Amino acid sequence: MEHTIAKAESRLVRIPVDPPRGDAIQQFNALELPIVTITDRAGRIGTGFGYTIGAGGSSILELLRAELLDWLIGQDARRIAFIHEHLNKSIHALTPGCISSTALAGIDVALWDLAGKRTETPLSLLLGGAKDRVLTYNTHVGWLNRPLAEMVKLCKQAVKKDGFHALKLKVGKEDPEEDRERVARVRDAVGTKVKLMIDANQSWSIDEATRRLKLLEEFDLVWIEEPLPATDIQGFIELGKRTRIPRAGGESLYSAAAFYDYIRQGALDILQPDVARVGGITNAMKVCHLAESANLHVAPHVSPELSVSIAAAVSNSMMIEYVPQMEPVLKRRVRIEDGYAIPSHAAGHGIEFDEKAMTKFEVK
């Protein structure tokens, strides 16, 4: 049967990040991409991927090769939900967790890409087709280790030259007044019509977050992202009583069930599923539909080349994040017009890797 899986392979690509990027808890000098290709008996190829920042890609690659890929041979590539559930149960002792969910995501994304190619349908339409474009916010301008003058310059350029209507700044400087100055300077530089978000990368306690956010409430922020450790649901609930700034999070949640707990307890206002970390497109769509049922918005985390298809598929998407992480190994960047990302019109997810660049950065 032509839709039976004939081959499943993986490789690891490590893209240097120079200069290193930094947030409140880490700096990293590389992006690692575990990449999966699945070929059916008709010769169609689906490509999937996950990512890690800094290190860890080799562990994901080993899990794929040692435990997951061989079982795929001979399976019906159309049965995406069955494959996802079977593989998840086969490594149940390792779940939920970032390594296992990222490995599963590589396979799941490849299967959905293959489904789009088999049906000659763009992924955004295959998944629902609610929108033809999605507002995009620029995070790259706002790394915490950027000097203030450089950050302000890049923010102004992103708005006036590149057409972005939304920006995100990392916060978490040792001195809270320095965070306030950075946000104030950017708000003054780009004006009040530009949407502005902040991200503390899980670096605060509830009391610290309360104090710091009081200094920032005047700047009309769309959200505070991950102010507390992702496991601190009660802290997020309490923070909602202490600040007017909406709470966003989800990039560090590794299952749809984890999102359900946050939704059920009213711990987040905006959900940010990461396609790789949550286990792939199958689980990301579950999160989007859970959020819609609770009348909440989603703003998929990073990987704009893929996130645009997820966000365009659902009616409750708010924005996607632009960080130029994969661009060195892509044939083309995500299409952004007047601050809005346009999903690919090609069959599947439409992401094309540059084989010459992939070979250059491949970890042998």
Write the pLDDT tens digit of every residue in 18-45.
899 999 999 999 999 999 999 999 999 9
Quote the pLDDT of residue 173: 97
Average pLDDT (210-222) is: 98
CATH H-level superfamily of 5-120+355-361? Enolase-like, N-terminal domain (3.30.390.10)
pLDDT in tens, 302-358: 999 999 999 999 999 999 999 999 999 999 999 999 999 999 999 999 999 999 999
pTM: 0.97
Model confidence at 202, in pLDDT bands (50, 70, 90)?
Answer: very high
Quote the pLDDT of residue 54: 84
CATH 3.20.20.120 matches 125-342: yes
Q: Which residues contact 328 (CB under 8 A, 6 or more apart)?
A: 15, 357, 361
Quote the pLDDT of residue 360: 97
Q: Which two tokens stand for residue 162?
A: 């590149």
Quote the pLDDT of residue 293: 98
Average pLDDT (254-280) is: 97
Q: 197-221 burial by CB neighbour count: b if 16+ within 10 A, else e?
A: bbbbbbbbebeebbebbeebeebeb
Give the CA distances from residue 225 to residues 89, 137, 138, 191, 283, in Å, rounded to whole numbers and listed in that order. 31, 13, 14, 21, 21
Answer whether residue 1 shows pLDDT above 90: no
Average pLDDT (62-80) is: 98
Quote the pLDDT of residue 190: 98
> For the chain, where do the domains classified as CATH 3.30.390.10 start and end?
5-120+355-361
Model confidence at 55, in pLDDT bands (50, 70, 90)?
Answer: confident
364 is catalytic: no
Quote the pLDDT of residue 209: 98
Answer whether residue 206 shows pLDDT above 90: yes
Quote the pLDDT of residue 364: 87
Quote the pLDDT of residue 70: 98
Q: Find the helix or strand (DSSP H, E) in which 39 lies.
A: strand 27-40
Q: Which two tokens stand for residue 149?
A: 């003058």
> For the chain, where do the domains classified as CATH 3.20.20.120 start and end?
125-342
Q: Which of 48-57, 79-88, 168-177, 214-223 has the lowest mean pLDDT?
A: 48-57
Amino acid at 340: Y
Catalytic residue, candidates 84, 170, 195, 349: 170
pLDDT in tens, 133-182: 999 999 999 999 999 999 999 999 999 999 999 999 999 999 999 999 99
Give the CA distances from residue 128 to residues 122, 146, 273, 340, in Å, rounded to whole numbers and listed in that order. 10, 39, 17, 19
Answer whether residue 103 shows pLDDT above 90: yes
301 is catalytic: yes
Backbone angles phi, psi at 79, to 5 degrees: -90, 65
Quote the pLDDT of residue 350: 98
Map residue 174 onto helix, strand or coil.
coil
Quote the pLDDT of residue 84: 98
Report the distance separating Cα 285 and Cα 220, nearest Å: 30
